[in-house]
Structure 1
Amino acid sequence: MALWKQLGLMVVAVALVVGWFVYEPRIFGGEAQQGHARQDTTESPAAPVSVQRVRFTGGAGTLEAIGTGRALQSVTLFPEAAGQVTDVAFQAGQRVSKDQTLLQLDSQAEELAVELARARLQAARQELARYESAAGSGAVSGNEVDAARNAVETARIQLRQAEVVLFDRTLVAPFAGVVGIPQVDAGDRVTPSTEIATLDDRSALLVDFEVAESFAASVELGDRVRATTPALPEAQYAGEVSAVASRIDPQTRTLQVRARLPNENGRLRPGMSFTVRLPLSGRTRPSVPSISIQWEREGAYVWRVTEDDTAERVGVEVRRRDEAWVLVEAPLEEGERIVSEGMQRMRPGVPVKIQSDDQGPQVATEPGDGV
């Protein structure tokens, strides 16, 4: 009887094991498959972002640069000779004309030298006349006549030299302009290295400034400019580009440009600082929000939203920026969506959800001379 019970228990155990292998995949395998199905059908949540649209701008851009004004002509005056000052014939800030006398040195000895040279020239001419009259009768040889002619020429040169020395005793204005403060007084002794005063032609001012290499081809002679100076903040001065350098500076990658500002009323003075604004007509470029620019070791980039609402990274080269917008060099099309908020969640291919799409017009200019 005990043996029969043992055999019965063994049959029941075998049946339980067989049943386990038959039904376990259906129970646990089904649940696993359902779990996998639920996992496969669960999508990654879309990243909420705000976007703004790309616009192409640049035609109405303005370049802004800082420069220092200098006179149309400017010189520091020195005497041609040493001597004692007998007269200072100008006052500080006086407008003078070309060749106007500014300073006189003692010249008594030089005046006597001129008189003596004139007398010698007169005597040489009279002697030449007598010799030429007598040459026809044979009383004077041809050699004597030639010698008399040479004497006249020598006397004429000596007179000219004496006149030059006398002229150097007077300092005159080389061009019309405004003289500065005199550095000498009557009675002072001066030498050719003694500074007398400055002279500036302020009828116009020249302002040199620099333009970035990327805009060098946009600047031409005659381009109109507008300038302001902190010395006269209420005024704005219109001028034009009067000179453009022939080459790009390899160190700064800039082009030197010179503007000419009319100054008929004389309010502008050399040495003033100026902010020069030059409209540029260069080619248009894509403009993106400044807050959308991201940086990494390789350079700058932005996140573009593709047509299927996923994130795509686009490398950009920054050209010009203002407070809100940046002009860039990049493979972007007008109207494309650029992420302006929510960049921290961006990865290539990540789905995005547009929460705000600013499609309004934007104003992008090129106000700076560099980034």
Structure 2
Amino acid sequence: MASKAIYGAVAAAGIAVASGAAWWYQRQPASVTGAEAAAPAARGASSGAARAPAVEAARVEVTTLVDEAQAVGSLRSRQSVVLRPEVSGRITKLNFRDGERVRRGQLLVQLDDQLPLAQVQQAQAELSIAEANHKRNQELVAQKFVSQRSLDESAANLKVAQAKLALAQATAARLRIVAPFDGIAGIRNISLGDYLKDGADIVNIEDLDAMYVDFRLPERYQTKLRRGQSALVDLDALPGRHFTAVVQAIDPLVDANGRSIGVRGCIDNRQLQLRPGMFARVTAVFGEREQARVIPEEAVVPQSGRQYVIKLVDGPDQDTRIAQRVEVKTGIRRPGRVEIVQGLQPGDMVVTAGQQRVQRDGMPVRVLDLGRAGQAGAGGETPAANAVAMGSGPAQPAPAPEAAGASRAAAALPQTLTAARVSGPNPCATVAAAGSGARRGGTVR
């Protein structure tokens, strides 16, 4: 029993000594001199930049930005008609060939008109008799040999004879089917000697000198649409070719089902490269801003219905920046890029990754890849920035039509306006004059 008591006392004494030593060790830094305490503080100050959170940043770039919208549409002829007879009859003449150009007023189909022509001759003979009787009665009335009633009756008979002649001529004219306008005839469905019933299809006539492209845009673009604006048209049937349409008409009625607006554009097709019914991809161009400020889309932080960015300003040394939260107003968006209308200036640096590490304004941060970001922003407008801001994206071998629409609108639009050089007036010149004048001014209003 005595040995157990001794062991317990020794263990208690050991625990007490260890506890005292630990307490003394913890209190030791507080008892050092001021010179010894200043050294760790100096080392902490020199390594403060290393402890600052690291973020990725990019500079505000200035580039040309096109305000546009994509849609799909269909091509149709400026004028299109399917010829149909108003009366029944047998075909006696066919004065056109399939796919041949026809002129306005040209006789295309002649139906059997023997009976109507005989009726015309009969009406002419009756008219001659009525005219002679009326003239004779006029002379007799002047000599007072007949009453005024006889003269009135002869005048009425003359008008009846004139009406019969007009009716016979109109009936005969309905058997002549002529071209209502200049165009190209389609493929006929009839042959010489066929008997046609009234309303039967004969052939279609298409005016292809100008093509209409009909498409629809969401109702939010109604304030931007104007007559005379330009639109770039791409066709799946003609890859690699770009056509320019001029907005000619805007439907005043908004479709209640799709909440969209109908738009019609006019394309100069005097080279006859387009055909009605083609599927078209339309890029409507509302305007162009040459000094647009753009930043990466991931730099914008939405909060409470507002848009913010974290702007970086110069810090105490070269490797440190001070973070400031700035409210901005955004404009046009492109894949990976967004326009800043208000809040930033060209060359400003904003955080693109690591915003969650910035806990307060005025916090020092370190910027990763600062040299590469500085080189991209120092040159102002770089080719890569232009390609992204215009919608084509960086280093994409085969961009999608939606992504490359803005780039083609800025590059190919002026070329396509002057690409077609054919004789004769431009069929879309009425609207194109206003659109091209606004384009030469630098901005499509």
CA RMSD of aligned residues (A): 4.1
- Cα gap change, 1:237 to 1:134, in 2 (>3 Å): same
Aligned to 2:348: 336
1:53–1:288 CA contact under 8 A, matched in 2: yes
Aligned to 2:124: 118
Write the distance in 2 (CA, Å) between the matches of 1:233 and 1:274: 11
Aligned to 1:198: 204
Write the distance in 2 (CA, Å) between the matches of 1:102 and 1:346: 80
Q: Say which of 285, 290, 296 aligns to 1:289.
A: 296
Write the distance in 1 (CA, Å) between the matches of 2:260 and 2:293: 23
Write the distance in 1 (CA, Å) between the matches of 2:263 and 2:180: 27
1:320–1:328 CA contact under 8 A, matched in 2: no
2:229–2:286 CA contact under 8 A, matched in 1: no
2:87 counterpart of 1:81? yes
Aligned to 1:353: 366
2:84–2:199 CA contact under 8 A, matched in 1: yes
Q: Say which of 81, 104, 116 aligns to 2:110.
A: 104
* Partner SS for 1:138: coil
Aligned to 2:7: none
Tell me how far 1:94 sits from its aligned partner.
1.2
Tell me how far 1:58 sits from its aligned partner.
5.2
Write the distance in 2 (CA, Å) between the matches of 1:137 and 1:67: 78
2:169 counterpart of 1:163? yes
- Cα gap change, 1:153 to 1:294, in 2 (>3 Å): same
Which one-letter code corresponds to 2:151 in the other structure? Answer: V
Tell me how far 1:236 sits from its aligned partner.
3.5
Question: Larger Rg: 1 or 2?
Answer: 1
Write the distance in 1 (CA, Å) between the matches of 2:287 and 2:103: 42
* Partner SS for 2:277: coil
Greater helix fraction, Structure 1 or Structure 2: 2
- Cα gap change, 1:214 to 1:50, in 2 (>3 Å): farther
Tell me how far 1:95 sits from its aligned partner.
0.7
Aligned to 1:7: none
Write the distance in 2 (CA, Å) between the matches of 1:325 and 1:178: 48
Stretch of structure 1 that moved more, 152-161 or 246-255 = 246-255
2:60 counterpart of 1:48? no
Q: Deviations over 1:193-233 (max 9, x none)?
A: 32222111111112234556676555544445543423233
2:229–2:247 CA contact under 8 A, matched in 1: yes
Q: Deviations over 1:316-359 (max 9, x none)?
A: 7573313x423366644433323333456565656532012324
- Cα gap change, 1:210 to 1:286, in 2 (>3 Å): farther
Aligned to 1:326: 338
Flag structure 2 segments of 5+ consecutive residues without an equivalent: 1-19, 32-39, 314-320, 393-401, 406-445
* Partner SS for 1:162: helix
Write the distance in 2 (CA, Å) between the matches of 1:299 and 1:249: 30
Tell me how far 1:72 sits from its aligned partner.
1.2
2:79 counterpart of 1:70? no
Residues matched between the structures, number? 343
* Partner SS for 1:267: coil
Aligned to 1:177: 183
- Cα gap change, 1:314 to 1:210, in 2 (>3 Å): farther
2:156 counterpart of 1:133? no
Aligned to 1:91: 97
1:240–1:259 CA contact under 8 A, matched in 2: yes
1:81–1:169 CA contact under 8 A, matched in 2: yes
- Cα gap change, 1:84 to 1:47, in 2 (>3 Å): farther
- Cα gap change, 1:219 to 1:126, in 2 (>3 Å): same
Flag structure 1 segments of 5+ consecutive residues without an equivalent: 1-22
1:220–1:241 CA contact under 8 A, matched in 2: yes
Q: Deviations over 1:55-85 (max 9, x none)?
A: 3555555655443221111122221112233
**TM-score for both structures, normalised by structure 2:** 0.64
1:90–1:102 CA contact under 8 A, matched in 2: yes
Aligned to 2:441: none
Taking only the aligned residue pairs, the percentage that are identical comes to 26
Q: Deviations over 1:131-166 (max 9, x none)?
A: 122222322211101110111111101111111111
Write the distance in 1 (CA, Å) between the matches of 2:72 and 2:159: 59
Which one-letter code corresponds to 1:51 in the other structure? Answer: A
Write the distance in 1 (CA, Å) between the matches of 2:62 and 2:254: 27
- Cα gap change, 1:253 to 1:47, in 2 (>3 Å): farther
* Partner SS for 1:233: strand
Tell me how far 1:126 sits from its aligned partner.
1.2
- Cα gap change, 1:205 to 1:249, in 2 (>3 Å): same
- Cα gap change, 1:84 to 1:337, in 2 (>3 Å): same
Q: Deviations over 1:224-262 (max 9, x none)?
A: 554342323344334533334557767767654433221
1:316–1:328 CA contact under 8 A, matched in 2: yes
Aligned to 1:20: none
